[in-house]
Amino acid sequence: MSTVLTRRPGLAKLRVRSGRSPLHLVCLGLVASVVLAALLAPWIAPHDPNAVDLGAALAGPSAEHPFGVDAAGRDTLSRLLLGARTSLLGPLGVVAFSTLAGVAIGTAAAWRGGWLDSLLSRATELVFAFPGMLLAVLVISVYGEGLLAPVVALGLAYLPYVSRLTRSLVLAERARPYVSAYRVQGHSALQICLRHILPNIAPVVLAQSTINFGYALMDLAGLSFLGLGVPPLTPDWGRMVFDGQTAVQHGYPLSAILPCLFVVLTVVAFNVVGERWADRVARRDR
Amino acid sequence: MTSAPPPRVSRRRPGPLRGRSVPATATRVTIAVLSSVAVLAACAGPPGTGTGAPGASYALSAGTPKPKGDIDSFTWAVYAEPPTLDYTVAFDYPQNTILSNVCESLMRWTPGLTLEPGLAEKATNPDPKTWVYDLRSGVRFHDGRTMTADDVVFSLGRQTDPNNAAAWAQNFQNVASVRKTGPLQVTVKLKKPDSQFPQYMATAAGVVASKAGVTAAGKDYGTSGGLACTGPFELGTWQKGQSLELDRFDGYWGKRAKAGKVVFRFLTDPSARTNALLSGEADGGYLIPTESYARLKGSGAGTLYFGEGLSTVNVNITNIKGPLGDVRVRQALSLALDRTGFVKAGLGGAGTVTNSLTTRAAWAGASEETRKAAFAGLPPTERDIEKARALVEQAGATGKTLTVATSSIGQDVSLLATAVQAAGSRIGLNINLKSVAPNAFTALFTDPEARERIDMFPLTYYDSITDPLDLLTNFRTGAYLNFAGYSDKRYDELVDRATATYDRDSRLRIETELQKRAAEQLPWIPVAEWPTALFLNKRITGAPTTIAYMYYPWAADVGAAP
């Protein structure tokens, strides 16, 4: 399944695979701090992210507003911190949904084989053929704004990546002697899959999901930038870039550049961490 | 295992030893920090001094310099493509900006916002219920025919034809009949005296098109083929979705247009529009995105003018069945609004805070005393959060939820919605924003379903005539823009009285009463007066700066810059 892991080959250049890579450590630190910021945002944000001060719109950095304020006079730092919540919660939903459903479908297809395999594989390939972003735009236009609709749509779009990976992993595991041994001992298929195969394939699937997390973050930010998805008042990085368009026109694009930077850095961090995990799993002596 | 990635080799190149690279690293880090700070400073506005966004000064110009001569063609940026150019449904900026150069009305609204004869060389009022229009002779339509009284009767008749669903129908509500009383004379009989009707004859309500031309075009009139009107330009190529061309009409009865051709380009994206103006792709445009004022001013590519807009930015209350039904809640919202901040951030500093729904310029014909009466006693524009919160409490509306529509159509809309939300949250109201796609925003005016579950939306209103009644009549029971169903018997009576009064000062005195009632009752919440903005690059000049461009053939005045 090298197609999955090298879906966006450009990022491969950022991989550093030696034992103690500083890039990996930096990225790990970044992931940890973004997650921490998201968790602690309500307590560490210096201002109410929706407190408007139109009189001070687009003001530059100061002691009170270290990252300045946006076109509506809202504190950029507070919005970035609170924005980390929606910006991470969305991809988390996408990854959780696609991983759970993908593993279930992939395992069922590989274990049972035959017509079920054909049916599930063709069905997921059908989803593959439909661009995820378009699917999300379609779902949002039907169900209106909110985080749930784009998350479910993107979750569906990401599902085939996980299910195909799982299918191939389970196919390989199924052929191993320990599985035959369990079968001979009379263990049920469900028991073997849940207790023995799943723990064995989990690291690879989770590594893939970590990489998917970065992509989902980028896709959701893209949807927010188009004005779709999260409602207007919700602090969200993609939405902040969307709101920052007028700031760019004013000639003071800081409030648009910072969320862009956060999206890029977080996506890169998740990719580096995920790919390194994948590398470590791949090198593991099986 | 098929899933395992192929074995990989580290591509990291051996670097210098850590110990030796310390000074170089320190320098690099210092440079990186310094350059980040520099980038940060360059990307951000001035520190928060409370003076707000840049470009916070503006002055109104009466006009633009006279052109030195003719020009082959010029290109004009408009923010949307008109769905049709049929004059009966021309009620929005893009249609009228184009149509005013092609179709002319019985009367004419001048760049100075006064009335003068148009296709009628004389309008007389022998008795309060009769208007007689004597038409110019020898006026030719674009289709080659000559204008007669029959064309006028037919054209005005289209406005009242229920099959046309004309946007101007309500201006004809007092018209009993329109008859030909001579080869070049039309007599309008009114059911009751109507001071507004003759004024509206200078807008698209008074447009005259060729009967034969319109009949021949049938259902396609306005969307394909010519418009069979009399203006200084005739409709040329219309590339749907892209551009529309107007060609000079050589048989025009009045002063010949200075430009041979005008190309209107439809540029919906505000930044694309600004860039087109800066690059010369478009030579000029009205309705400049407010966030681009500073860029256009400082670019040196041309001049940004401001003119009298007869426009106010308001919050249109669309639902008075909920908490906004209590006038105290409306007053509280009005008291809590940061108008000064909105003008600075939302209108690029080019605007004036106001607590009057009508502009000062709309009262131009009034005596000093009447004008003072109109603006005396209006509530102050300063914020008073404490008082506002107390009003909300008194009304028992604390914690109630309201919804305001917003759209990325422009900062005047999006930032006003944000300001309303901020005001509400400070006085104990819970205000949600509902995003509406830019092209769906117009539906808020036309489709009651689009207004469902919306309590208010930002609305910029421009007067089509120089009379405050144009706006104030909207709160009469059953008026087209009276979405909330506001109804006040005394108010209706005053509107009827003002409508029936021809003497300007007497009428405006009645309108001061309406103005006061509207300020107390706040069927809409006034926020700011907003001038028109006009950008002309160095190639062209001559366009009027005032809102008259909606009905005045402005493009005919545009020529080569000296």
Nearest to B290 by CA among A232, A68, A245, A237: A245
Within a domain: A11:
no
SS (H, E, C) chain A: CHHHHCCCHHHHHHCCCCCCCHHHHHHHHHHHHHHHHHHHHHHHCCCCCCCCCHHHCCCECCCCCCCCECCCCCEHHHHHHHHHHHHHHHHHHHHHHHHHHHHHHHHHHHHHCHHHHHHHHHHHHHHHCCCHHHHHHHHHHHHCCCCHHHHHHHHHHHHHHHHHHHHHHHHHHHCCHHHHHHHHCCCCHHHHHHHHHHHHHHHHHHHHHHHHHHHHHHHHHHHHHCCCCCCCCCCCHHHHHHHCHHHHHHCCCHHHHHHHHHHHHHHHHHHHHHHHHHHHHHHCCC
Per residue in B397-441, pLDDT (tens digit) is 999 999 999 988 888 999 999 999 999 999 999 999 998 877 678
**Is a pLDDT exceeding 90 seen at residue B319?**
yes
Residue that is written with structure tokens 């479910």 in the block: A152
More reliable by pLDDT, B49 or B170? B170
**Is a pLDDT exceeding 50 seen at residue B494?**
yes
In which band, very low, low, confident or very high, does the pLDDT at B19 lie, cut at 50, 70 and 90? very low
Within a domain: A265:
yes
Per residue in B341-356, pLDDT (tens digit) is 999 999 999 999 999 9
A-chain CB neighbours of B44 within 8 Å are 58-61, 68, 252, 254
* A46 in contact with chain B, both atoms CB, cutoff 8 A: no
Nearest to B223 by CA among B200, B203, B206, B240: B240
**Is a pLDDT exceeding 50 seen at residue B147?**
yes
Q: What is the pTM of this model?
A: 0.85
Q: Closest CB to A17: pick one of B10, B52, B406.
A: B10
- Which chain A residue's Cα is nearest to B431? A233
- Which chain B residue's Cα is nearest to A175? B1
Encode B16-42: b = buried (16+ Cβ within 10 Å), e = exposed: eeeeeeeeeeeeeeeeeeeeeeeebee
Within a domain: A57:
no
* A118 in contact with chain B, both atoms CB, cutoff 8 A: no
* Residue of A249, A277, A280, A284 best to disrupt the B interface, most CBs of B under 10 A: A249
Reported ipTM: the value is 0.79
Per residue in B256-307, pLDDT (tens digit) is 999 999 999 999 888 899 999 999 999 999 999 999 999 999 999 999 999 9
Within a domain: A177:
yes
**Is a pLDDT exceeding 70 seen at residue B37?**
no
Within a domain: A276:
yes
Do residues B75 and B263 make contact, with C-beta atoms less than 8 angstroms apart?
A: yes
Q: Closest CB to A61: pick one of B40, B54, B411.
A: B40
* A185 in contact with chain B, both atoms CB, cutoff 8 A: no
Per residue in B214-247, pLDDT (tens digit) is 999 999 999 988 999 999 999 999 999 999 999 9
Q: Tell me the C-alpha distance between B93 and B546, whole Å.
A: 13
Within a domain: A152:
yes
What are the tokens at B129?
């219920």
What per-residue confidence (pLDDT) applies to B34?
65
Q: What is the CATH number of the domain that holds A217?
A: 1.10.3720.10
Cα distance from A251 to chain B (closest Cα, Å)? 7
Per the prediction, chain B carries an average pLDDT of: 90
**Is a pLDDT exceeding 50 seen at residue B99?**
yes
What per-residue confidence (pLDDT) applies to B314?
97
Within a domain: A15:
no
Looking at the structure of chain A, the number of domains it has is 1
Q: Answer yes or no: do B345 and A1 touch at CB < 8 A.
A: no
**Is a pLDDT exceeding 50 seen at residue B53?**
no
Residues ≥6 apart with Cβ < 8 Å to B465? B109, B196, B199, B200, B202, B203
What per-residue confidence (pLDDT) applies to B380?
87
Which segments in chain A show pLDDT lower than 50?
1-18, 285-286
What per-residue confidence (pLDDT) applies to B39?
66
Assign B311 to helix, strand or coil.
strand
- Which chain B residue's Cα is nearest to A72? B415
What per-residue confidence (pLDDT) applies to B14?
32
Q: Domain of residue A172: give its range.
A: 30-42+64-285
- How many CB atoms lie under 10 A from the CB of residue A269? 22
What per-residue confidence (pLDDT) applies to A20?
65
What per-residue confidence (pLDDT) applies to B4?
35
What per-residue confidence (pLDDT) applies to A229?
80
What per-residue confidence (pLDDT) applies to A284?
61
* Residue of A7, A15, A24, A52 best to disrupt the B interface, most CBs of B under 10 A: A52
* Residue of B10, B13, B25, B43 best to disrupt the A interface, most CBs of A under 10 A: B43
Within a domain: A69:
yes
Per residue in B498-535, pLDDT (tens digit) is 999 999 999 999 999 999 999 999 999 999 999 999 99
